[in-house]
């Protein structure tokens, strides 16, 4: 992959990043890795296993705390990153040369699969993904095992309970993707815990930052203004920012 992660100014327009991703020629190994993830996505999208779950914050505010019965296929189709957004996660991780990745919100493991694929091509490292629902943890583990010979670690439990030990027990992370517990106050709390433990020049990606309707928009705006943020790109649904150095 020839792309090197550029460091745009704060609040930069996301079009340049999108154009770089869309026009980027992939190596044979990258195409094969993305195809493996796509095949696993197809399998998950037709999976009729029922998940009896409680929403701990991954869904809408109205569904928070409620129990529901849904199929794995439904979650793969409706609650997971699309092919386009997954490609973006893969590309950023490859361009950044990530070797330590932290994800908050595994769901069925599709986004983690894109990150794992990039990590493997980067030469290996550590992927840790946190998920509150026990049944989803099991599905996510299967997903990662299907796409990698060295699958990452899926940790079960509420983020507030599992994040401290994940940060303590694993290497400094150089890429973080937060796509769970879509509450601005909670995300700010997690970022407060995460930022001091990141590697220099780490990259952080926040989901659900859409103007007006994005629940995590306030947390995103705060990080764009934060003195520790050296650059940021608003991609409408996701926000990406980088740190010049970790404290």
Which domain CATH number covers 202? 3.40.50.150
State the number of CA atoms in the 13 A half-sphere of 60 facing the CB.
5
Give the model confidence (pLDDT) of 75-104 as tens digits. Answer: 999 999 999 999 999 999 998 899 999 999
Is residue 64 over pLDDT 80? no
Residue spans of alpha helices (H) in the chain: 15-23, 28-45, 72-78, 83-96, 110-121, 134-147, 159-169, 184-194, 217-225
Q: Is residue 1 part of a domain?
A: no
Q: Are 118 and 128 in contact (CB under 8 A)?
A: no
Q: Write out the residue range of the structural domain in which residue 225 sits.
A: 27-47+76-243
Q: The dihedral of CA 189, 215, 140, 138: what is its sign?
A: positive
Confidence class for position 53, pLDDT limits 50, 70, 90: confident
Tally the domains of the chain. Answer: 1
**124: which DSSP letter?**
-
Is residue 6 over pLDDT 70? no
A 10 A CB-CB count for 74 gives 17
Confidence class for position 52, pLDDT limits 50, 70, 90: confident
Q: Is residue 158 part of a domain?
A: yes
Instruction: Give the predicted TM-score (pTM) of the model.
Output: 0.90
Q: Is residue 200 part of a domain?
A: yes
Q: Is residue 65 part of a domain?
A: no
Q: Is residue 100 part of a domain?
A: yes
Mutual angle of helices 83-96 and 15-23, in 10-degree steps: 90
Query: What is the per-residue pLDDT for 2?
Result: 38
Q: CA nearest 163: which of 186, 140, 135, 134? A: 186
């Amino acid at each position: 992959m020839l792309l090197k992660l550029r460091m745009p100014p704060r609040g930069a327009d996301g079009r340049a990043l999108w154009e770089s991703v869309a026009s980027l020629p992939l190596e044979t190994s990258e195409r094969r890795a993305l195809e493996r993830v796509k095949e696993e996505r197809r399998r998950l999208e037709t999976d009729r296993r029922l998940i009896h779950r409680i929403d701990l914050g991954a869904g809408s505010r109205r569904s928070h705390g409620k129990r529901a019965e849904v199929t794995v296929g439904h979650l793969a189709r409706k609650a997971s990153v699309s092919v386009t957004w997954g490609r973006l996660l893969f590309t950023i991780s490859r361009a950044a040369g990530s070797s330590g990745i932290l994800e908050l919100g595994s769901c069925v493991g599709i986004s983690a699969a894109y990150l794992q694929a990039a990590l493997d091509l980067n030469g290996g490292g550590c992927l840790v993904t946190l998920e509150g629902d026990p049944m989803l943890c099991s599905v996510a583990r299967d997903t990662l095992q299907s796409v990698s010979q060295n699958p990452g670690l899926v940790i079960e439990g509420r983020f507030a309970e599992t994040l401290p030990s994940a940060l303590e027990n694993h290497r400094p992370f150089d890429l973080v993707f937060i796509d769970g517990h879509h509450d601005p106050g909670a995300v700010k709390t997690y970022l407060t815990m995460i930022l001091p433990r990141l590697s220099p020049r780490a990259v952080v990606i926040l989901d659900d930052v859409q103007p007006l309707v994005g629940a995590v928009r306030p947390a995103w705006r705060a990080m764009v203004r934060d003195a520790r943020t050296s650059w940021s790109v608003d991609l409408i649904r996701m926000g990406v920012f980088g740190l010049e150095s970790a404290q």
